[in-house]
Amino acid sequence: MRVGLFSPLLINHEGGGERYLLTIAEHLSQNRDCKVELVVQKHFDEGEGQNLLKKRAEQFDLNLDKAQVSFGPFGQKGSALDRYLFTRKFDAFLAFTDGSVFFAGSKRNILHIQIPLKKGPTGFINRLKLGSWNVKVANANFTKRQVEKNWHIKIDYVHWGAVNGRDFIPGKKENIILHVGRFFTGLHCKRQDVIVDTFKKMADEGLGDWKLVLVGSVDPGEDNAKYANKVKQSARGYPIIVEHNLPFKQLQDWYAKSKIYWHATGFDLDENEFPEKMEHLGLTTVEAMCAGCVPVVINKGGQPEIVTDGKNGLLWNTQGELIEKTLNVIKNDLLRSKLSSSAKKRAEDFSKENFQEMTDTIFGLRKKSN
């Protein structure tokens, strides 16, 4: 089976969408003997393509030895006919959409909707294009609800990303609040600025013997670099550590040592008015839960899909609630232990095994019999 996987961001971004696509590539190439091509908009020679896969495999702890990179006509120079003829070569073709669509020609066309944009494809021709995708997938129930409401289409499957629990093991816990996420200003900005501001308020009001750790790469672009620098400057003089481009092993160490995990994407915004600016799911929260961190995360977007308030973590709506609920965890070891244990259990629902089973369903595959 020949499978094409396309995301316009694969080359320059290292987020959850890229990990999702590459986890599919790993499963189909390693476990289902599919010929998997990761399609990019830039001409690469074979060596450059393999170097890209090697880099991404190390970042996400995946085995991509059997996958390959190929060029597809998805930039401005590619025509609608070029794209249709290109996709006809595949038995299945999965593409991410930024709200635009094209006529797809594979035997099984899978449209993956990662961002719940309020406005989807409109007009007669674009609706015809949308209809050429016979399988439509969302990355979260939050995305599904928003897209079905605003795009007036049916989502066939919700496909959560996968977290390998063996990669995130609890260690000896220290007084650390952790946040993991890329630094960028567009769409669903992770709001590290709000996280730093909140911790500074807590420190100014007497919180001692605790530190905040922010880990995440900086997206390309001057605006993103300025934002990352602004956050770093704001943190000066406080027990706040900001780390960019960490090796996977060091990231694992931070998860293992941290007691609490914070998430603030979508802060001070209405999720129905700006659904694209929410965290559409948020697998870093799941990684933290695997490692026994207690998630104290925003009650918006896909985060309530992961965390049930008071059962396996805590949800907040205002900065005051974030401070109050965090202090409850800090001051009550019994509560922290209970939430930590339940968080680890909840994280199992995002296992690679569950992910692979849904991947097989989406691609119309059956498991091999033993």
Question: Which of 14-23, 71-80, 168-177, 241-250 is predicted most confidently?
Answer: 168-177
> What SS3 state is found at 174?
coil
Amino acid letter for position 87: T
**What is the domain extent for residue 111?**
2-162+351-362
> What SS3 state is found at 296?
strand
Asked whether residue 10 falls in the same domain as residue 76, the answer is: yes
| 175-200 mean pLDDT | 95
Look at residue 369 and tell me if it is in a domain: no
Inter-residue contact 336 to 294 (CB < 8 Å): yes
What is the DSSP secondary structure assignment for residue 214, as one 8-state letter? E
* 189 bridge partner residues: none
Q: Compute and round to an integer the Cα radius of gyration of the chain.
A: 21
Q: What CATH number is associated with residue 93?
A: 3.40.50.2000
| 223-232 mean pLDDT | 97
Q: What confidence tens digit (pLDDT) does each residue in 302-361 have?
A: 999 999 999 999 999 999 999 999 999 999 999 999 999 999 999 999 999 999 999 999
Asked whether residue 6 falls in the same domain as residue 122, the answer is: yes
Asked whether residue 169 falls in the same domain as residue 109, the answer is: no
Asked whether residue 291 falls in the same domain as residue 237, the answer is: yes
Instruction: Note the pLDDT of residue 49.
Output: 83
Asked whether residue 68 falls in the same domain as residue 190, the answer is: no
> What SS3 state is found at 308?
coil
Q: pTM of the prediction? A: 0.91
Asked whether residue 336 falls in the same domain as residue 235, the answer is: yes
Asked whether residue 38 falls in the same domain as residue 177, the answer is: no
How far is it, in rounded angstroms, from Cα 216 to Cα 306?
21
Look at residue 71 and tell me if it is in a domain: yes
Look at residue 188 and tell me if it is in a domain: yes
Q: Which two tokens stand for residue 36?
A: 């998997």
Asked whether residue 334 falls in the same domain as residue 357, the answer is: no
Instruction: Note the pLDDT of residue 367.
Output: 54
* Domains of the chain: total: 2
Look at residue 370 and tell me if it is in a domain: no
Q: Which two tokens stand for residue 130?
A: 């949308």
Q: Which two tokens stand for residue 199?
A: 């911790």
Q: Does the pLDDT value for residue 8 go beyond 90?
A: no
Q: Does the pLDDT value for residue 301 go beyond 70?
A: yes
Look at residue 28 and tell me if it is in a domain: yes
Tracing tokens 């390693």 back to the chain, one arrives at 30
| Sheet hosting strand 240-243, strand order edge to edge | 240-243, 211-215, 176-180, 260-263, 294-298, 314-316
Q: What confidence tens digit (pLDDT) does each residue in 16-71 have?
A: 889 999 999 999 999 999 999 999 988 777 788 888 899 899 888 899 999 999 99
Cβ-based neighbours of 83, under 8 Å, separated by 6 or more: 72, 73, 74, 102, 103, 104
Please state the φ and ψ torsions of residue 102, each to the nearest 5 degrees: -140, 165
Asked whether residue 191 falls in the same domain as residue 284, the answer is: yes
Instruction: Note the pLDDT of residue 88.
Output: 97
Asked whether residue 156 falls in the same domain as residue 202, the answer is: no
Asked whether residue 185 falls in the same domain as residue 222, the answer is: yes
Look at residue 368 and tell me if it is in a domain: no
Alpha-carbon distances, residue 57 vs 162, 210, 253 (angstroms): 14, 33, 19
Inter-residue contact 17 to 7 (CB < 8 Å): yes
Look at residue 212 and tell me if it is in a domain: yes
Look at residue 46 and tell me if it is in a domain: yes
pLDDT band at 369 (very low <50, low <70, confident <90, very high): very low
Asked whether residue 72 falls in the same domain as residue 211, the answer is: no
